[in-house]
Each structure stands twice: as structure tokens, then as C-alpha cells.
Amino acid sequence: MSGTDKLLQRIFLIGVVAVFLALALGCAKRKGTPIGALDEAWMRAKNYMKRERFVRAQGLLRDIVLNYSGSSVVDSAQFFLGLATYELNDYLVAAEEFRRVTDQYPFSELAGDAVYFEALSYFQQSPKFPLDQTLTDKALRGFQRFLEDYPDHALTDSSYRYLGLCRDKLARKEYAAARLYYDLGEYASALLYCGIVLDNYYDTPLAASAQFLKGRSYFALKDWEKARRELDLYLERYPDGRFTVRARQMLGLLPQRIARSGSTASEP
């Protein structure tokens, strides 16, 4: 059974218990409405979800949320509404539906699942790395919140994986900007973006490339001491990195470059 199937099975169990509790306590909101109407609508909605008929499920779930807000199943119905919307690939609307679970029912057993799926909805809608990464940033913050608030949740490992993917994508965008500025000869700007990668995404694969590019940028600016420091730092952190040979070659050129700059400075 997949992780998603296990999650749905757990949610269905929660929903069934909630339905019987609602029936026992007489929690149907509308006066004069047979209490079985909620039971029937809820069971039909779950059946549609199991059969992957998400449009039909969506309509029933929205009706439950709107008309039975005082029932014990409304938090589950709200979550399923988000899940049905997610399965229809309407990710931004799904994120809003999941957020309503945590905003309106913060003590629901499904609150943690809702935080996770809200973040996942933003992740699914986030564009390729050269484009605006606002949604990726929202996803990242959502997964961070999930891990902080629900560290023992069954979806923790999955959240860590998606968090890493978000960080990799954001790092790629910043490094692409650094490389572009370097290629344009805007070395100070290249250093700025290399610093962002190294400060914020130091644990991503592009940290090594940013460290080497930082050394190259100082080398291009003829700031020999800073170039030496950054290239030495690259070799210390990534002794088997892809730029190791080039870093050593550049360091080997430094004594000559320093001597040349010193003799030039002494000329009248």
C-alpha cells in the first residue's frame, strides 16, 4: 500500500468515526433536515473519492462544508475538498482549501495533513527555476512549518524530500543570476548572488559552484588576497569537487599576478 493510500485510509477512518459521533450527538445544523442526509452525503462523497470521481466528490463536499458547518465531520469534509481539488490539478485553489482546515479547525486530527498538502499544492504549481519563485518560497515555508509543528508525523520524510527540492530550485535561480552577471563582466553583482547561495543554500549541490565562482569573481576583479581566500576555502570544503584542478591552477597563478601588480604600483 502506497503512502498516499495509507493516508487516505487513515482519513477515511477518521471520517467514519466522526460521522457516527455526529449522528449520536444530533449535530446536523439545519432544523428539519433528517440527520441521515449528512450521513448519506458524506458516504457518497467518500465513495466518489475512492473511485477517483473528484468533480462529483467536490460538489458534495462543498455542500457539506457550507451547510453542515456545525457537524463533527466538517473538518474532514474541508480536507477532502482540498484533496479533490488537488487531484483535479487546481493547485492554488487546493492550497486555499487546505489552509481553511488549519485556520478554522486548528485542533483537527487532519491539521497536520492539511499543512503538508497546502505546501505540496504550492510546490506543484511552482514554475521552472528561471521564472519567479514566489510559489516555491511559499512551499518551502509550508514544509518548514509542517516539520516544526508535526515532527513525528507519518509524512515527515516526504516533507524533508520536498523541502530539499525547494531549496535546490531556489539555489539554482540565485546561482543562475550569479553566473549571468559573471559572464556579463558584472563581477560585484556575481559576488552578491554567490553570497546568497552560500548563506541561504549552503547544503545544496550548487554551493560548491557558488564558492568557486566567488573565487573566480575576485580573481577577475584582481583582488588577489580575497581570490586566494575563496579558492583555498573551495579546496578545503570540496577537495574532490569538479573545479579542484582549475582552483589549483588559479592559485598557482597568484604569486605572479601579485608580483606584477606590486611592480606596476611602484612605477612612477
C-alpha–C-alpha distance, residues 35 and 41, integer Å:
11
**120 with 163: CB under 8 angstroms?**
no
In the predicted structure, residue 93 carries a pLDDT above the cut 90:
yes
Q: What share of the chain has pLDDT > 70, as a percent?
A: 84
61 pLDDT tier (thresholds 50, 70, 90): very high
In the predicted structure, residue 190 carries a pLDDT above the cut 70:
yes
Tens-place pLDDT, residues 217-258? 999 999 999 999 999 999 999 999 999 999 999 999 999 888
* Closest to 85 measured CA to CA, from 49, 115, 116: 49
C-alpha–C-alpha distance, residues 27 and 20, integer Å:
10
**130 with 138: CB under 8 angstroms?**
no
In the predicted structure, residue 136 carries a pLDDT above the cut 70:
yes
* Closest to 254 measured CA to CA, from 179, 230, 238: 230
Mean pLDDT in residue range 151-165: 97
266 burial class (0-12, 13-18, 19+ CB within 10 angstroms)?
exposed
132 pLDDT tier (thresholds 50, 70, 90): very high
Q: What share of the chain has pLDDT > 90, as a percent?
A: 79
Q: At what angle do helices 91-104 and 111-125 cross, to 10 degrees?
A: 160
Q: What is the pLDDT of residue 18?
A: 42
7 pLDDT tier (thresholds 50, 70, 90): low
Looking at 71-75, 111-115, 182-186, 188-192, which range is the least confident one? 71-75
Cell of 184: 556579463
In the predicted structure, residue 266 carries a pLDDT above the cut 80:
no
pTM value > 0.75: yes
Mean pLDDT in residue range 132-153: 97
79 burial class (0-12, 13-18, 19+ CB within 10 angstroms)?
buried
Mean pLDDT in residue range 47-61: 96
Q: What is the pLDDT of residue 198?
A: 98
Distances (CA, A) of 233 to 55, 59, 208, 248: 56, 59, 10, 11
Cell of 238: 570540496
Residues ≥6 apart with Cβ < 8 Å to 226: 218
Tens-place pLDDT, residues 10-53? 554 444 434 433 433 333 344 444 447 899 999 999 999 999 99
Residues ≥6 apart with Cβ < 8 Å to 116: 142, 143, 146, 150, 153, 155, 158, 159
Q: What is the pLDDT of residue 11?
A: 55
Single-letter amino acid code for the residue at 69:
S
Mean pLDDT in residue range 157-162: 97
